[in-house]
């Protein structure tokens, strides 16, 4: 009875002071109330998933000496590194415009490099006519998940984000979603076989070039935003120094 009364008193105190409950309930409450923490946790989850793909494709590439799996290992490796930078810069004690600008510049450079990696993967796929083949039900399921992922990513990207770091995370997810659409197109054409081989290669080639240019454009845009923030901070710092000398 005493324990029940004590727990009820603690709950009332937390309600009055606005404190979140402890343990897993506190973590879930914090994620629900703070969208920034939720985005960072989602980025961390995507980072773990990308690292799994890095080891998986790297192991297959070394085992079978496959250039395709090595290329995919590089792709997921660059994605993992970008998300790692975003998660580290999103830590509370690193929260500043300087860290966000640095993350934007670094991730922009990596996203530009990623576009060249995608060009290599697209070239291998185009030359070898390589695509995963699935049955109809599984293909429809993959297509539904891919379009859900793309729609959710677009909504999150075009939602106004005050902090530059979350724009960077959104751009990374948008580039990954574009690559997923390209992979889906290749698999659907190979699985259903509704068009000729030359027409399919032409469509896959044009879509692949568009995705590579799109990823490179996102990278350049992120670099510009990061450099712009850092230059603004330098101007503010110079003004402060001039005011200090004037005093």
**Do residues 20 and 26 touch, judged by C-beta distance below 8 A?**
yes
pLDDT of residue 137: 86
CB-CB neighbours of 46 under 10 Å? 19
Sign of the dihedral defined by the CA atoms of residues 148, 153, 154, 155, in that order: positive
Cα→Cα distances 101→9, 70, 107, 211, 238, Å: 45, 31, 10, 25, 18
Q: Which of 122, 110, 83, 118 is nearest to 220 (CA)?
A: 110
pLDDT of residue 159: 77
Q: Rounded CA gap, 122 and 114, in Å? A: 12
Strand runs labelled E in the chain: none
The pTM of this model reads 0.79
CB-CB neighbours of 15 under 10 Å? 10
Q: Rounded CA gap, 153 and 180, in Å? A: 12
Strand runs labelled E in 178-238: none
Cα→Cα distances 124→120, 121, 181, Å: 6, 5, 18
User: Mind listing the pLDDT tens digit of every residue in the chain (247 residues)?
Assistant: 444 444 444 444 444 434 444 444 544 455 555 667 777 888 889 999 999 999 999 999 999 888 888 989 999 999 999 999 988 887 655 567 778 888 899 999 999 999 999 998 888 887 777 777 788 888 888 889 999 989 988 888 887 677 888 889 999 999 999 999 988 888 888 888 767 778 888 888 899 999 999 999 999 999 998 888 867 766 666 666 666 655 5
Cα→Cα distances 72→124, 131, 179, 210, Å: 11, 13, 12, 19
Sequence-distant (6+) residues with CB within 8 A of 144 are none
pLDDT of residue 190: 82
pLDDT of residue 222: 93
């Amino acid at each position: 009875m005493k324990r029940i009364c004590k727990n009820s008193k603690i709950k009332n105190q937390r309600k009055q002071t606005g404190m979140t409950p402890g343990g897993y309930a506190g973590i879930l409450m914090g994620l629900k109330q703070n969208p920034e923490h939720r985005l960072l946790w989602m980025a961390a989850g995507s980072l773990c998933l990308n690292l799994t793909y890095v080891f998986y494709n790297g192991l297959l590439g070394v085992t079978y000496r496959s250039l395709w799996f090595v290329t995919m290992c590089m792709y997921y490796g660059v994605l993992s590194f970008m998300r790692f930078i975003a998660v580290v810069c999103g830590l509370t004690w690193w929260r500043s415009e300087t860290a966000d600008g640095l993350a934007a510049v670094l991730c922009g450079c990596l996203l530009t490099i990623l576009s060249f990696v995608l060009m290599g993967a697209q070239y291998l796929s185009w030359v070898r006519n390589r695509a995963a083949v699935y049955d109809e039900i599984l293909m429809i399921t993959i297509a539904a998940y891919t379009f859900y992922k793309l729609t959710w990513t677009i909504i999150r990207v075009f939602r106004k984000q005050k902090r530059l770091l979350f724009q960077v995370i959104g751009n990374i997810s948008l580039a990954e979603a574009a690559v997923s659409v390209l992979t889906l197109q290749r698999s659907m054409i190979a699985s259903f076989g509704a068009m000729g081989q030359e027409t399919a290669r032409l469509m896959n080639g044009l879509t692949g070039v568009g995705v590579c240019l799109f990823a490179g454009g996102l990278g350049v845009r992120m670099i510009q935003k990061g450099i712009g923030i850092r230059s603004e901070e330098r101007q503010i710092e110079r003004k402060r120094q001039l005011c200090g000398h004037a005093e």
